[in-house]
Amino acid sequence: MGKEKLIRIDENTVEVPMGYTEGMNVPGRIYIDDELITHLESQAIAQVANVATLPGIVGFSLAMPDIHTGYGFPIGGVAAFDLEDGIISPGGVGYDINCGVRLLRSNLERDRVLPKMKDLVGAFYSSVPAGVGSKGRIKLSPDDEKRVIVKGAKWAVENGFGTAGDIEKTESNGCIDGADPSAISTKAYERGRSQAGTLGSGNHFLEVQYVGEIYDEAAARALGLFKDQVTIMIHSGSRGLGHQVCTDYLPLMEKTANKHGIVLHDRELACAPVHSEEAQLYLSAMKGAANFAWANRQCIMHWCAESIIKVFGGTRESLGLGLVYDVAHNIAKIEEHTVGGRAKRLMVHRKGATRAFPPGHPELPPTYRHVGQPVLIPGDMGRASFVLVGTQGAMKETFGSTCHGAGRIMSRHQAIKSARGRSIHREMEDLGVTVMSVGRSTLAEEMPEAYKDAANVVDVVHNAGIAKKVAKLKPMGVVKG
């Protein structure tokens, strides 16, 4: 239901036409092929259309091929708003502000690491707290926590968690300017206080991987990637602090939308005009939560690096341990894009979507400026994750954005039901993947078949030209919360 109204533009794109929902200001565009469209939920299409009704939206209400139903905005959604008459919406960012992914590379090869997988995964499991009730190894004083909010990953590096070189390999240098500690509630601080350097649960993970295939030799070389090389992928966010910021601001945004006469098709689309005081307050708090998330992933990566050194000996330098890149996939940012041939600053929301800036973009670190921004796409724990780079195509069509992951095809309960009588742990071992998890049912809920194959998702963005495939990463070991 709903799909019959979509108009296919080309083999990778469909349009959600004007009139799909009353009050649309622009059409929707979903990057999806004939195979993935079979998984497309009618509610997710309706959400693309609902976002198109929001004031000041520019171009299209966009969705990536990993689209699925979210709250207000679809997951996989991208929407840019005019700074004069547009809005900012916490629903376009999500509860886990700056949930994101980073990739640590080593110079270790698969054959050297394989015999020590149990030691390595065990070392990760004990060094990075995960799951319900877990407390971080860092105890932040209230003043320290405010410093994290303002400085992001820089706070972590200044306090010994990583090196200065990590900062330039992090989106926005791991810190968005303008975070205001006073815009964040006491409750948010209390939730975050013992959670810096914790993984979380659900689909968050640490994964030991090897480079299984290279699609673009030159780009892989520029990113320091080679065949059979071992990498570590880290997927986490802003933890309770970010969740509380979203929870705190939704009611205020709903009131503000009503005050400005904005019609909401869904309460979770609550929003405020960008120029309003309420929007600026949310933006200041969101920036702080985003910075907290970058500090969180920086600390987690530092402990992963320490664990690798503990298991294999040597130093960070001798083991070639270095950050490839860190990307946010739940965030709103003011960025400059070309609209109608003219440069324009826009409020770009990416909710389950990754920034994918092209070669030459001034925001890229000098080492990657000729190749484009690294884009990290986590897959399920049995098949593969991917490294891509940003393209001019993304800049032209999607406000410099691309997909963020695989997307579920089975609900958690379907997955648990399907896992009954099976040992997912043993199945993963049979696939050559060593797993450890904290939660009672995490492994069943996160089983590979619960997700779409990320390979199909990245093929769509690659073929559509909104990112370019560089390398495939195959899992060897996983820690789940």
Which residues in 124-143 contact another protein (CB under 8 A)? 131-135
Phi, psi of 236 (to 5 degrees): -160, 180
- Residue 236 engages another protein in binding (rule: CB under 8 A): no
- Residue 146 engages another protein in binding (rule: CB under 8 A): no
Q: How far is the CB of 330 from another protein (least distance, A)?
A: 11
- Residue 90 engages another protein in binding (rule: CB under 8 A): no
Instruction: State how far the Cα of 272 lies from the Cα of 368, in Å rounded to an integer.
Output: 36
Find the Cα–Cα–Cα–Cα dihedral 343, 345, 351, 352, rounded to 10°: 40
Could you say which DSSP state residue 92 is in? G
| Residue nearer to another protein on the CB measure, 69 or 392 | 69
| Residue nearer to another protein on the CB measure, 187 or 344 | 187
- Residue 414 engages another protein in binding (rule: CB under 8 A): yes
Q: How far is the CB of 412 from another protein (least distance, A)?
A: 6
Which position among 117, 150, 309, 438 is part of the footprint of another protein (CB under 8 A)? Answer: 438
Instruction: State how far the Cα of 237 lies from the Cα of 328, in Å rounded to an integer.
Output: 9
- Residue 480 engages another protein in binding (rule: CB under 8 A): no
Contact criterion met (CB below 8 Å) for 336 and 48? no
- Residue 266 engages another protein in binding (rule: CB under 8 A): yes
Instruction: State how far the Cα of 38 lies from the Cα of 163, in Å rounded to an integer.
Output: 45
Instruction: State how far the Cα of 336 lies from the Cα of 362, in Å rounded to an integer.
Output: 11
- Residue 74 engages another protein in binding (rule: CB under 8 A): no
Which position among 151, 154, 191, 469 is part of the footprint of another protein (CB under 8 A)? Answer: 191
- Residue 413 engages another protein in binding (rule: CB under 8 A): yes
| DSSP per position, 401-467 | EE--S--BSS-HHHHHHHHTTS-HHHHHHHTT-EEEE-SSSHHHHT-GGGB--HHHHHHHHHHHTSS
- Residue 69 engages another protein in binding (rule: CB under 8 A): yes
Which position among 55, 74, 240, 448 is part of the footprint of another protein (CB under 8 A)? Answer: 240
- Residue 421 engages another protein in binding (rule: CB under 8 A): no
Q: Which stretch binds another protein (CB under 8 A): 266-274, 286-294, 369-377, 398-406?
A: 266-274
Q: How far is the CB of 192 from another protein (least distance, A)?
A: 8
Q: How far is the CB of 98 from another protein (least distance, A)?
A: 13
The number of residues that bind another protein (CB under 8 A) is 40
Which residues in 383-412 contact another protein (CB under 8 A)? 408, 411-412
State the burial class of residue 411 (Cβ atoms within 10 Å of its Cβ: 0-12, 13-18, 19+).
exposed
- Residue 195 engages another protein in binding (rule: CB under 8 A): yes
Q: Is 302 a catalytic residue?
A: no
Instruction: State how far the Cα of 53 lies from the Cα of 234, in Å rounded to an integer.
Output: 35
Q: Which stretch binds another protein (CB under 8 A): 26-34, 102-110, 236-244, 307-315?
A: 236-244
> Which residue's structure tokens are 């559509």?
464
CB atoms within 10 A of CB 344: 15
**Buried-exposed string 420-459: b where 16+ CB fall within 10 A, e elsewhere:** eeeebeebbeeeebbbbbbbeebbbbbbbbbbbbbbbbbb
- Residue 425 engages another protein in binding (rule: CB under 8 A): no
Interaction site with another protein (CB under 8 A): 68-69, 71-72, 95-96, 131-135, 187, 190-191, 193, 195, 200-203, 240, 243-244, 246-247, 250-251, 266-268, 408, 411-414, 438-441, 481
Active-site positions read 404
